Amino acid sequence: MGKAFRSDSVGSAGIAAEIAAIEQRDDAQEPETVRCPVGECPVTYAVYNYLFSDREANLASLMYGLKIHHPNHPMRAVLNEPRME
Ligand SMILES: [Zn+2]
């Protein structure tokens, strides 16, 4: 718990700035590409900033969110945003 995934269009100015900031960190990860989990849906997402130490749980929570977005998902990038609880 304590993690929330937020998704947004890669083209939007807000997320572009956020991704640029992530990529400039010393500990920047390569984004991981994942497919929308619904059927043969070709939409892919670039996942930034998940925790390697909790990768399986992070991706499982992400997949749950992507199923909700389908088929209207305009989103292409997903960032793992820490949430204080
Ligand atoms: Zn989809």
Q: CA 60 to CA 17: how far, in whole Å? A: 26
Per-residue confidence in pLDDT tens, the chain, 85 aa: 444 556 666 666 777 777 788 888 887 778 888 888 899 988 888 887 766 677 788 788 778 878 887 887 765 666 665 544 4
Q: Ligand 1 center to residue 42 CA distance, Å?
A: 7
Closest CA to 65 of 85, 39, 36: 36
* Start-to-end CA span in the chain (Å): 9
Sheet holding 3-8, edge to edge: 3-8, 77-82, 44-48, 32-35
Q: How far is the CA of 39 from the centre of ligand 1 (A)?
A: 8
CA of 81 to the centre of ligand 1 (A): 22
Residue 48 Cα to ligand 1 middle (Å)? 19
How far is the centre of ligand 1, averaged over its atoms, from the C-alpha of 70 (Å)?
4
Please tell me the distance from the alpha carbon of residue 9 to that of residue 31, in angstroms, as a whole number: 15
